[in-house]
Structure 1
Amino acid sequence: MPNRSAGVPGSGVLDRWPWWGLCVALAAVMVVSALAIGFRTPYWSHADQDLVLAYHGLLFSEGLPQEYFDHPGYTYFLVIEVWYRLLHALGLMPVITLSGLPPAADTAAYNAAWQNLVEAGRALSILVTTGFALIYANLVRALVGDRRVAFLAAVVMAFGIGLSTQARQMRTDLLSASFVVTALLLVLVAIRTAPGWRPLLLLGLAGLLAGLAVVTKIQAIFLALGIPVIALAFGRRFTGDGGRHWIAAGILALAAGAAALPAAALIQHGIASAGQSLYPYRPVGGGLSGVYQGIIVGWVFLGMAVYAAVWRVRLSYAVAAMAAVALGLALGVLALTIRPHEQNVIAVANLIEHMFVFTTWKHQAALQGQEQVLSEGLVTLLAKGLWRTLAIRTIVFHPDNIPQTVVVEWFIIGGCIVLWRRGERVTAAQAALLLLVAWGLETLFSLRGFQRAYAAYTDPLMGLAAAWVLLRLPGFLERTRTRRWMFGMVALVVVVAQVWPAIEAIRLPNPAGQCGWIPTYMKRVEPFPFCRPG
């Protein structure tokens, strides 16, 4: 798609600055924002999950096994171990193992050690959020072909409530959301690129990232399952695709088979070992326990088959694409064998049952007495979540926890209406689909509470939908008045993104409120000073 920004009168800094300069500016603002607000808050200010994840960095650095399996968080622990070791090698972290911690009796040294551990984790979060934003910007640019639109979408995503929250904490959501959103964008770029080795590589990488997203935090499965539907809506037909691709299909199929067999065996072992889980699983219901995992896999490849039929993809290339995705997904699952632990395999293999355990903790009254996952109580909770999701967008009906991206959503809705009335109904439907997927995800996440950090999965969809609409409304960036309005809206998102972190930095919680769960999740450490009696 051509770059529509070239030669546009009055397009300002977005046209004059080189693309790398815009990316550097975005990264700089993100880093400065995160360092200035929230970075130096006490190590216990976000105890859940900062302390647990830092603790696992110590465990892994000492060669001890994983103890936390709620998400299950596996990939994050691998990353934080490498990060701690790197900082230690550079002389920036004196303590990276449990045995290296000073005695808790030396309160000042003990607090300093944990402050250093948590701040190192926050620095990693800043690097990941910044890197994710830059990858997002470049992939959106490749998708829309207009750097102005891509940059504005990246700013909205970077300063949405999800990423701006994640940049100041250690959370498994960040890595998971980065993986699965990048997978979605890679798929969209691949399907809108002429058939060849490059899009096959992108599809394989997308499969790998989607698999890693799920083994990091199993909630990523919901957005991952939306990728085939989004791809079908955004597809493109190519004529004269350059000949047959049976050689590529054969090579990829052999590689995929070699990886898929042990990956499938690993998942089957997890299903068979569900009774050994640390958490009490309930049956899914409807005869789906132990079966829905195959349905999930079938859904992905059925989606690819439907895509090939609708967009008339040559059979050899469709087979090669399926093999590339299968190879990536299998490798993502096999990442569980790097630091093997049966509980990780059980959590990933039985992800619906696993997520439901924590839903019951959040909604004990509503789900009390429900003997299976699919129940009347769950449907009622989802209905309430959907109502709250939609009511928030009105502000009037639910004026609390309003995300700063709500103004972007209004723009998307208004843009879709304009495009529909113009007759550009495909574009309107594509943008609306992204918006509906985001709202659907938020509804599902309501089962664990409306946590701001979960917006890391949905804000990127808002940014992409806004970019897709704006691309078809070039007058907004060509006319001075509407351009200023657009820039003002984006500036509002950036400014409001500083509000919640500032409030949290001022209104620090009472750390003693965390002392109930710390001994359960951090068994090998001495009590923190704020948990000691007297």
Structure 2
Amino acid sequence: MLIFGFRLPYWMHADQDLVLVYHGLLFGDGLPQEYFDHPGYGYFLVVDAWFRALHALGLLPIATLSALPPASDAAATAAAWQHLVEAGRALSIALVALFAVVYATLVRSLVGDRRVALLAGIVMAFGVGLTAQGRQMRTDLLSAGLVVTALLLVLVAVRRPPGGKPVLLLGLAGLLTGLAMVTKVQAVFLALGIPVAALLFGQRFEPAARTRGSRSPWALAAVTALLAAAALVPALALVAEGIAGWGQALYPYKPVGGGLSGHYQGLVAGWILLGMAVVAAVLRVPPAHAVTAAAAVLLGLALGLLALDLRYNVQNVIAVANFVEHMFVFTSWRHATALQGQEQVVGEGLLTLLLSGVGRTLAIRTIVLHPDNIPQTIIVEWFALAGAVALWRRGERLAAVQALFLLLVAWGLEALFSLRGFQRAYAAYTDPLAILSAAWVLARMPGLLDRTRSRRAILGGVALVVVAAHAWPIIETRRLPNPTTHCEWIPTYMPRVGPFPFCR
């Protein structure tokens, strides 16, 4: 990514690079957010902080909108935006590296094998999702990194004896999930699968191990519950405000259907509470620890949502609170013909598109039936699938189901994201699940890494992923688009800047 793509012209990925840089500059000047598609809020906070830090170190001349050169000076304008976009690409590379390291570290905690974790981290860093994200600025990267990390924290926590550390992990997972939602609402799909993953991967412990830890478990439960309640009251008020502001949304929302608008948010909350209760019951968690853990999750989620108050804008609150209607707006724009006349979210047109997405997702896995958009991580998926079958046949049924669950969730997410097109960047949400599925299988077959022949085959597959990751960046450097194609939408999304040199 440092060789291919970093020095490309600033207009190469104008959507999203220019829009996200623009909002980092807006926040630098203390101006309100203007773009709410994702809604992108969390990412704008990070970009603003990144620009400020680089400016303070003398590495970035401009960190605010007011410091931009006049649009009449074409050379200075081009140079300023080139520096800003390169700074944004550097942020993306840093986030990719951080995500890969955190991912590998948590996988090691989960599977207990350093070799498997290292291979998983390498494949993760060079998977189609992160390589696409690392060459440009996109809100998906931060959102996916946060929610995937939350999933791994939960899986690590439910496989440890009850105590203070699992509670901290669960609280942090709740916080990251809330932050992922305020960055890009699509994170909700993976977040809703976390309770099921916790149930499948959770581990029971003997009473002696379960009671080890705090001397006064109920006192800790009470304190944590009080903190959670203190954070939940304003967080729920924010959600209620967003639901009440449904009609004031910047985009034309349509009702979900079946009377669910304004009510499905309660179903989501119920799903979270039910999931935690079922996990606690199945794993036979002591009541005090179960209350503490649940309160920690709710405290983290509430704090994540309350981040909306740092740079409050009611449109962010409306988008996060009404995430189904918000996502449907952009689906309806992309599939205007298929959804023509559909006056609610749930309808025949949407279901047809979803079924088509499922079919295409499965066809892509065969390569032959759908040879386009083939991810380089497909060999990892094949390995995970074959490994799950092998585990099932030798009697390790639970491990096989766990691996298959991760793989099916990844495919399900890809089918859902097909409503916005099969974009490479969305693999940032799905690649980590497929890779974790393969790592889970490999950790239960250590002989594959001990035997020379199979080890070489596995390392060869990893090398193939790394090599294939460079194919598209090289192609991009040889296929520079015509930047004037962006001139139509730029005044709408970036009204405070003058025309770019390529738009004159």
Q: The TM-score by the shorter chain falls in which range?
A: over 0.9
Partner of 1:45: 12
Contact (CA 8 Å) 1:416, 1:469: kept in 2 or not? yes
After TM superposition, the structure 1 stretch with the greater mean CA deviation from structure 2, 243-252 or 41-50, is: 243-252
Partner of 1:319: 291
Partner of 1:150: 117
Contact (CA 8 Å) 2:381, 2:435: kept in 1 or not? no
| Secondary structure, aligned partner of 1:36 | coil
Given candidates 76, 84, 100, the residue that maps to 1:117 is 84
Partner of 2:165: 198
Confirm or deny that 1:165 pairs with 2:137. no
| Secondary structure, aligned partner of 1:523 | coil
The aligned amino acid for 1:105 is S
Partner of 1:231: 198
The aligned amino acid for 1:279 is Y
Partner of 1:215: 182
Contact (CA 8 Å) 1:283, 1:373: kept in 2 or not? yes
Partner of 2:145: 178
Q: Deviations over 1:306-335 (max 9, x none)?
A: 111111111111111110000000000000
| Secondary structure, aligned partner of 1:112 | helix
The aligned amino acid for 1:468 is W
For residues 234-313 of structure 1, what are the structure 2 equivalents within 5 Å?
234-240=201-207, 241-242=210-211, 245-313=217-285
The aligned amino acid for 1:106 is D
Partner of 2:74: 107
Deviation at 1:364, TM superposition (A): 0.3
For normalisation by structure 2, the TM-score amounts to 0.98
Partner of 2:400: 428
Deviation at 1:242, TM superposition (A): 1.7
Distance 2:271 2:126 in 1: 33
| Secondary structure, aligned partner of 1:373 | coil
Distance 1:441 1:123 in 2: 28
Distance 2:292 2:16 in 1: 41
For residues 510-525 of structure 1, what are the structure 2 equivalents within 5 Å?
510-525=482-497
Contact (CA 8 Å) 1:191, 1:235: kept in 2 or not? yes
Contact (CA 8 Å) 2:162, 2:285: kept in 1 or not? no
Deviation at 1:107, TM superposition (A): 1.1
Contact (CA 8 Å) 1:435, 1:461: kept in 2 or not? yes
Distance 1:214 1:505 in 2: 33
Distance 2:479 2:456 in 1: 35
Partner of 1:412: 384
The aligned amino acid for 1:504 is E
Partner of 1:139: 106
For normalisation by structure 1, the TM-score amounts to 0.93
Contact (CA 8 Å) 1:157, 1:462: kept in 2 or not? no
Deviation at 1:245, TM superposition (A): 2.2
Partner of 1:67: 34
| Secondary structure, aligned partner of 1:91 | coil
Distance 1:386 1:248 in 2: 46
The aligned amino acid for 1:236 is Q
Distance 1:380 1:413 in 2: 27
Distance 2:62 2:276 in 1: 48
Deviation at 1:487, TM superposition (A): 0.2
Partner of 1:15: none
Partner of 1:397: 369
Runs (5+) with no aligned partner, structure 2 = none
Q: Deviations over 1:383-417 (max 9, x none)?
A: 00000000000000000010000011110111111
The aligned amino acid for 2:232 is A
Contact (CA 8 Å) 2:377, 2:431: kept in 1 or not? yes
Distance 1:218 1:438 in 2: 17
Distance 2:348 2:496 in 1: 41
Partner of 2:357: 385
Deviation at 1:92, TM superposition (A): 1.1
Contact (CA 8 Å) 1:144, 1:471: kept in 2 or not? yes
Deviation at 1:497, TM superposition (A): 0.4
Confirm or deny that 1:356 pairs with 2:328. yes
| Secondary structure, aligned partner of 1:72 | coil
Identity of counterpart residues, as a percentage?
70
| Secondary structure, aligned partner of 1:45 | coil
Contact (CA 8 Å) 1:214, 1:221: kept in 2 or not? yes
Distance 2:268 2:136 in 1: 32
Given candidates 415, 419, 441, the residue that maps to 1:443 is 415
Deviation at 1:448, TM superposition (A): 0.4
Distance 2:289 2:65 in 1: 51
Given candidates 95, 101, 125, the residue that maps to 1:128 is 95
The aligned amino acid for 2:211 is G
Q: Deviations over 1:29-52 (max 9, x none)?
A: xxxxx2111000000000010000
Deviation at 1:530, TM superposition (A): 1.2
Contact (CA 8 Å) 2:43, 2:183: kept in 1 or not? yes
For residues 480-519 of structure 1, what are the structure 2 equivalents within 5 Å?
480-519=452-491
Distance 1:55 1:89 in 2: 19
Partner of 1:19: none
Distance 1:519 1:444 in 2: 31
After TM superposition, the structure 1 stretch with the greater mean CA deviation from structure 2, 153-162 or 95-104, is: 95-104
Given candidates 471, 477, 484, the residue that maps to 2:449 is 477
Runs (5+) with no aligned partner, structure 1 = 1-33
Contact (CA 8 Å) 1:416, 1:429: kept in 2 or not? yes
After TM superposition, the structure 1 stretch with the greater mean CA deviation from structure 2, 469-478 or 205-214, is: 469-478
The aligned amino acid for 2:355 is A
Distance 2:145 2:458 in 1: 26
Partner of 1:9: none
| Secondary structure, aligned partner of 2:274 | helix
Distance 1:248 1:455 in 2: 40
Distance 1:412 1:58 in 2: 44
Distance 1:185 1:43 in 2: 35
Contact (CA 8 Å) 1:181, 1:460: kept in 2 or not? yes
Distance 1:100 1:529 in 2: 18
Distance 1:279 1:450 in 2: 23
| Secondary structure, aligned partner of 2:186 | helix
Contact (CA 8 Å) 2:228, 2:295: kept in 1 or not? yes
Q: Deviations over 1:109-134 (max 9, x none)?
A: 11000000000000001111101110
Partner of 1:93: 60
The aligned amino acid for 1:389 is T
Q: Deviations over 1:3-52 (max 9, x none)?
A: xxxxxxxxxxxxxxxxxxxxxxxxxxxxxxx2111000000000010000
Distance 2:363 2:275 in 1: 32
Partner of 1:80: 47
The aligned amino acid for 1:147 is R
**Which ranges of 4 or more aligned residues in structure 1 deviate by more than 3 Å?**
none
The aligned amino acid for 2:108 is R
Deviation at 1:419, TM superposition (A): 0.8
Distance 1:238 1:447 in 2: 42
| Secondary structure, aligned partner of 2:276 | helix
The aligned amino acid for 1:273 is G
Deviation at 1:444, TM superposition (A): 0.5
